[in-house]
Every structure is written in C-alpha cells, then in structure tokens.
Amino acid sequence: MEVFFYFGVFLWVSSTASSLALTENSLTVVPRQANYSEVIPVTLNATIEYVLVYQQSPAINPYTVRAWCENINPNLPVQIVVRQAKQVTSWTVPEMIETTKTKHILYFYNTSKTMCHESMDEITHNNPDFSMGPLTVSQSFIMALSTSSPDNVTVNVELKEDEDFYVFRDIKYNITVSPSQSRYVYYKFDNSSADTVVIEVDSDDDVCLTVSVQDGRCPVLDSNKDVKYEGVFQTVNRKGAITVAKRHYSPGFFLVFVAKPDNYDCSQESNVIPLSRLSSIMDNNITTLLTFSIKNSISLYEYAYASIGIAIAVVIFGVVSLAVIIVFNRYGTISKARTYDIKIQDYIEPKTDEEINRIILSKDLTVDVFAKYPRRIKQRSFNYLSHTTSIALFYSIPVIQLVVTYQRVVNMTGDQDLCYYNFLCAHPALSFSDFNHIYSNIGYILIGIFFIFAVIDRQHIIKITKENGIPVHYGLFYAMGVALIIEGILSACYHICPSQSNYQFDTSFMYVMSVLIMVKLYQNRHPDINATAYTTFSVVGIAIFIAMIGILDGTLFIWVLFIVSYSILIILLSLKIYYVNYVVSGAKQFYIFYKNQGLCIETVSPLRKGRFVAVLVTNVANFSMLGIGLYIYLNNITDFGTFLLALLLGNTVIHISFYTIMKLIHKERICYESLIFGVVGMAFWITAGIFFLDAATLWTVTPAESRQWNQGCIFLNFFDKHDVWHLLSAPALFFTFLYLMYLDDDISDKPQKKISVF
C-alpha cells in the first residue's frame, strides 16, 4: 500500500514539474520527506515549489497544520495545498480575510487549519471511547507550498496531531482562536448522555465569534465565509450557549469556533433596528482565549415533572381562589345589600343646557346624576367584551402564523441570531427552540379562564340595581378576563422567537388591560359619560401604532413628536375630566365668569378643588414620566416601546391609587374582601417585579450582546427568572382585577344620590 502511495506522489510531482514553466526558468519541484510535529522552515520563490510528504499515520486524532511567516508581500503570498485521500484544503500565508468594511482587508501571518480525519465515520460509529482498540484507521498527507514571489521567502510549517480533539462532558476546555486560526472539536453522545446537551462558551474579551454545531461528517466548514452554511450557529463575544438534541446529531457533532476580523456581526450596526454604536475594525493579530464545556440538559422526566406540575399547581390555585370568591359572593360584604326585583329602564330625556350648567357649577356631584341610562351603560359595558374578543381573534391569527414561520426559518437555517432566547435556560420541545418560555404563559390563560368564571358567579348573585350602589355591569370585567387569556397566548407567541421585530406581540394586550382598568375605574362614578368601546380601542390602536413607529425609528425627532402630542392629549383629557365631559360648556362658563368679573382669583379658582388637585397631581406625574423618558432616550437606557408601556402602567397605578385614596377621603371604607385581594396582589406584584427586573435577555442590543445577560434555570431546573415572572404576574393581575371588582362592595346598599363622584 505504501509503495502505491509514493508512486502516486512521484507521478503527481513529475507531471507538475513537466507541465509548469515560468517565463524564463522552468519550475523546480522539490519533494521532501517530512515528519509529524516537526517545524519545517521552507525557503522558496517563483521557481521553486516544495512538496512535503508525510508517512501514513494510524492516529485516531486528526492533524492540524500550522503555517507562519514574516515580511511576505501580501500580494505575492505563499500558497499551501494539503492533499488527503478524500479531500483537499488550501489557503495562503499571509491569509487574506475580508472585513465587512468596503475594500478593507486584513492579512494574517500566523495561520492554522485542522484536517478532518478521513475515517471519522468509522471512529464515531464503531469506537465508543475513542481508543484504538480493534479499529484500524490511517491518514496520509501531501503538502505543497508555492509562491509567485520572485524573491526568496521563508515560511514555517508544522503538521501536528490534535490530541484534545475529542471532548467529553463536564470538563472545561480552553482554546485559542483567531480569524486565521479557527478551531473545532468533536463530541460524541454516549449512553449516559441526556436527550439534549448544553454547550456553554465564555470569553474575557469582546472578540466577535461564530460558534457552530455541525454534524460529524467531513468536510467541516470552519471559515468566516462558509461557517453559516452548515448546522446551527450563533455569534458570541463574551458568553454563549447552544442546546443540542441527540436526535438531530447522532452519534455526535463537531463544535466549531471561528473568530471574525471585525465586530460587525456583534455590533448595533448589524441590527435590524440599529442604535448609534457602530462596529470597530480589530487589529490583525487579535486572538481570543475561550472556555467551553458540554453539560447534560434535563431529562424527559424533568420535562414532564415541571410541565405537568406547574399546570396542576395553577389549576389548584384557580380552584381554591374560585371557591373563596364563591364564598365571598354569598356570605361577604355584598351579601348584606338588599336586592330589588325591579325592571330597569333608561330615562330617555337628554340633558338640557340648564342641567349641564348645574353639573358644571356644582361643587359636590353624586353618582345618580350620571346613572340615568343603566341599560345603555350595560350595552356599552358588554361592547368592550365584543370588541376585545374580535380584536383578539383578528390580531392573534397573523401573529401565530408569523412566529411559527420564524421558528421554521430558525430550524431550517440554524441561525440562532434570529431569536433572543435565554440560551442557558432554553429547553426545546415540539419543534420549538425555547419551549419553557412558551409554556410558562399557561398561567395567564388558565387564570384568565378562572377569572371569567368568577365574574359569571358574581353576575349570577349580584343583580343590577337602579338606585343603590355603583351601577353593576360586568362587560368590562369579562373583557379583562379575555384580555388576560389573549395576553398569555400572544406572550407565548412572542417567546417562540423573541426579537426586536415582534416585541409588540408581547405588549399589545398589556396596553388593552391597562386601558380597561382605567376605563372601569372612571365608569364606576361616571357611568353615563364613560368612553365608548369604539373610542377606547381607537386610542389603544393609536398607541400601538405609535409604539411601532418608535421601535422602528426611535430617533430624537420621534420622541419629541410623541412628547408634544402626548402633552396636548393630557391637557385635553384633564379638561374633559375636570368638566365631567362637558368641556365646551365649561369653557363657556369660564368665559362668562371672565367677562363679568375679569381676570381675578374668583375667576381662575376651581369650584371642585379636590377634583382639580387630582387632575393636577396626575398631570405632574405624567409630565415627570415624559421627562424621564427623554432622559432614558438620551442615555440609551431603554427602548420606546418599553417606555410607552411603562407610561400606561404608571397611569394605571395612579388611577387605582387615586380611586382608593378618594374613597377613604370621602369616608368610604375598603371592604375586607378587596383588602385581602389587594394585599395578596401587591405581594405577587412585588415578587414578580424582582424577577422581571433581573432580565436574562435584552433585545435592544445585538444577539451576541444579549447573550451576556443569559442566566441559568432557577425553578424546577426548567424555568428561568422570566418564566417565574410569567407565573407570578398572572395571579398578580388576577388579584388586581378582583380588587377592582370588590372595591365598592361597601357602598352597594348606599343610595346613589349619596355616593360622591370623584
């Protein structure tokens, strides 16, 4: 066999020498016997080509070729061609690597290439412990070196066995990588391997890398240009993790590390929605030291235990809560109210100008003034339910279609930069890359259903009253329950592939729930003049549209435009609230006062000082939040969509706090049911907020930068902190809704003409 090998070398050298010629001198081919692990300095020029012949090696490890030189003209490099029995590898020294900048090229004078073992199939399928045993393998190499330089140049080469090529679980490995010295290793699943393993990668510098997982067949794509065309890959600078399923890469896989010549793929410049920071071109002698390890992920039993256990826990929570609600509805504060079997009908007479003026000039308004249309109030209330359901249906269908397409693209291309997962706690299942973050939204869905059952029971027990208590209509509460369910569905859709482009899927129905809460609180004391569902959802739609514009183009101009528009809206709503919906009539009354008395204290002094102070405080809070928003934009602290959501949630908290405080000021008490739900809800909110603020991903930066925030699982070895936020915020919303539903039970038997409006 060896005779035939050298005879083939002789024929190749002879044919090359006889067929190639330069302008004046014939090309001289110099064959040379070479030894493994020997550093060989080779001096050559345009007339001399060296061929290094290595004996066959029985080593089970592959070999790595190192080639380096000094002071070689990059335009006349040394060309290296390594022939194996089944493949040929070639490159130049210095190696030319293009950056992402136009016409910017870096030259690397220190290079290395790992030669894929020709017998990888036999080694990986027939050799479980990577020992020689009865397995017989061989490798052979012929290395040709040539150049077009007319002057002598010297290059050093070494062909050395890669003794750390096969890696094992639960061991930390250190490797050095540069743009011209990529590295790859091989991991084989064994009988003790879990169904999935997690590869964790750490680095102490910001060198941009591509980490790739490829199947265990040669050739291995390990250059900057082709590493993305095989297997699963992601960009990494300081931290990365890839979850690999055994069923996709049996019996094992190559783990490839490729350093990039610049930071473009890890910088904001490569983002779909870029920020101001740009990439930087690295020096051409840059290297990075990586630490990586491979660990077992969770077992199928742990999958089932976490998934089924959480579902059972949520159901138990819902059943117990529903039982408590049923008891409260029958034996609580509301049970003491008298019920009336009366026919409800509206007063169809519209308000006269005299009545409107009396309302505007009245210092103490009562609910009976704004509760003359109970049937219309009921219809308006249930309009919110129908609108919420319709919007949810038409909004959810394209969302589901889009995110499922995203997941299919990720599965087909292997590009893990498309989605902002917490890769240190991302458990794949059912073709989804991150099943746990999808599944943890089950709390919103189930608890939303339980809340609807709670509303049904309360509606069955507590009938509509005409003259006592706050007008009882349940359409808004049903809408809240539906919104909670849809929030769970859309949040699950978002977490199929979380990214900059679909962040609104996770927040749209948060806007809806916030607005529904504020509308419900205003409806309690202003039932006749409350906003219709058409107006409310038009405002929500505009808010979502503004959020989209802010996310796509979050420039200073957009922020300033929003702040100005929002300020105008605040002023208009303030006038509408102060003049209890009759802004034009209120302006006329102000003009009459001004005309009769001139500009004096009596003219500008508010008639309803409590209402004026509440509006003033709300305005101060809103303008303060706008100022904070401008500050966080200038300092790149957060994005426009998150700021807008925080603005809405802040107003929701203000409305709830204001309503509660005003009840106490007007000597109304907080019934014990509402107090219990409020305290428990607050405890859930505080706990959930702690986990929410400790984020494990950040889509406002690049995928590589986001991975620096990744954290391990903390609950049942299946859920991370954001999953816990999902599981805790669902009951927090549930108890918040219940707090609002029971908040006015203390005045359920009080005549409406004695219930203050605020």
Residue 235 · residue 209 · CB < 8 Å: yes
Over residues 192-208, mean pLDDT: 90
What's the confidence (pLDDT) of residue 613?
83
Amino acid identity for residue 555 in this structure = T
CA–CA gap between residue 366 and residue 29 (Å, rounded): 106
Distances (CA, A) of 255 to 111, 202, 226, 314, 609: 19, 14, 15, 40, 71
Looking at residue 2, its pLDDT comes to: 46
515: pLDDT strictly greater than 60: yes
The bridge status of strand 95-98 relative to strand 183-188 is: unpaired
For residues 193-207, average pLDDT: 91
| This prediction's pTM | 0.86
Confidence (pLDDT) at 102: 64
**Helix ranges restricted to H, 69-119:** none
Query: Is the predicted pLDDT of residue 582 greater than 50, yes or no?
Result: yes
Q: Which H helix or E strand runs over 234?
A: strand 232-236
Q: What is the per-residue pLDDT for 416?
A: 93
pLDDT given for residue 199 in this prediction: 95
Mean pLDDT over 647-662 rounds to 90
CA distance 196 to 187: 13
Cα dihedral sign, 36-37-43-49: positive
User: What pLDDT does residue 561 have?
Assistant: 84
The stretch 439-444 carries a mean pLDDT of 96
pLDDT of 361 above 80: no
Q: What is the arithmetic mean of pLDDT over 740-756?
A: 85
For CATH 2.60.120.380, the residue range(s) in the chain are 1-163, 164-297
Cβ-Cβ contacts under 8 Å for 176 (sequence gap 6 or more): 183, 287, 288, 289, 290
pLDDT at 120: 84
Q: What are phi and psi of 648, to 5 degrees?
A: -65, -45
pLDDT tens per residue across span 484-495 = 999 999 999 999
φ, ψ at 608 (rounded to 5°): -105, 90
569/583 Cα distance (integer angstroms)? 14
What is the radius of gyration, based on Cα positions, of the chain?
36
Cα separation, 611 vs 58, in Å, equals 90
Q: Is the pLDDT of residue 75 over 70?
A: yes
Question: Both ends of the chain: CA-CA distance in Å?
Answer: 99
Query: Tokens at residue 612, please?
Result: 């004026």
Whether the pLDDT of residue 418 is over 70: the answer is yes
| Helices 583-597 and 353-361, axial angle in degrees (round to 10) | 70
Q: Which residues of 671-697 are buried (b: 16+ CB within 10 A; e: fewer)?
A: bebbebbbebbeebbeebeebbeebbb
Taking the C-alpha atoms of residue 334 and residue 340, their distance in angstroms, rounded to an integer, is 14
Among residues 273, 268, 271, 274, the alpha carbon closest in space to that of 548 is found at 273
Q: Which of 59-68, 130-139, 548-557 has the highest mean pLDDT?
A: 59-68
What confidence category does residue 681 fall into, taking pLDDT thresholds of 50, 70 and 90?
very high
* pLDDT tier for residue 5 given thresholds of 50, 70 and 90: very low
Lowest mean pLDDT across 150-164, 301-315, 553-567, 680-694: 553-567
Strand (E) or helix (H) holding 403: helix 374-413
Give which of 44, 176, 181, 56 is closest to 118, Cα–Cα.
56
Q: CATH top-level class for 1-163?
A: mainly beta
pLDDT exceeds cutoff 80 at 362? no
User: 367, 748 in Cβ contact below 8 A?
Assistant: no
Whole-number percent of the chain with pLDDT over 70? 85
Degrees (nearest 5) of the Cα angle 160, 162, 167? 175
Model confidence at 688, pLDDT cuts 50, 70, 90, reads: very high
Lowest mean pLDDT among 45-49, 396-400, 461-465, 467-471: 461-465
Segment among 108-122, 329-343, 344-358, 571-585 with least mean pLDDT = 344-358
Among the residue ranges 305-314, 475-484, 523-532, 613-622, the one predicted with the least confidence is 523-532
Answer whether residue 19 shows pLDDT above 60.
no
When pLDDT is averaged across residues 460-474 and rounded to a whole number, the result is: 76
Most confident of 5-19, 322-336, 588-602: 322-336
Per-residue pLDDT for 341 more than 70? no
How much is the average pLDDT of 749-755? 82
Q: Provide the pLDDT confidence category of residue 264 given band limits of 50, 70 and 90.
A: confident
90: three-class secondary structure by DSSP: strand
Of 265, 180, 174, 160, whose CA–CA distance to 222 is shortest? 180
Mean pLDDT of 641-652: 86
**Per-residue pLDDT for 12 more than 60?**
no
Question: How many angstroms separate the Cα of 207 from the Cα of each of 16, 47, 178, 419, 436?
Answer: 42, 40, 9, 21, 31
Is the pLDDT score of 11 beyond 70? no
94: preceding bond cis by omega (within 30 degrees): yes
> Can you tell me whether residue 608 is helix, strand or coil?
coil
Band of residue 20 on the pLDDT scale cut at 50, 70, 90: very low
CB of 83 closer than 8 Å to CB of 178? no
- Name which CATH class applies to 164-297: mainly beta
The Cα–Cα gap between 757 and 752 comes to 10
> Per-residue pLDDT for 235 more than 70?
yes
Pairing of strands 232-236, 196-203: unpaired
530-557: average pLDDT: 79
Give the mean model confidence (pLDDT) for residues 111-140.
Answer: 75
Give the range among 156-165, 416-425, 485-494, 572-581 with minimum mean pLDDT.
572-581
Query: Is the bond into 731 cis (omega within 30 degrees of 0)?
Result: no
Q: Please give the pLDDT value at position 408.
A: 93
Query: Of the spans 209-223, 331-345, 358-372, which averages the highest pLDDT?
Result: 209-223
CA distance 49 to 147: 8
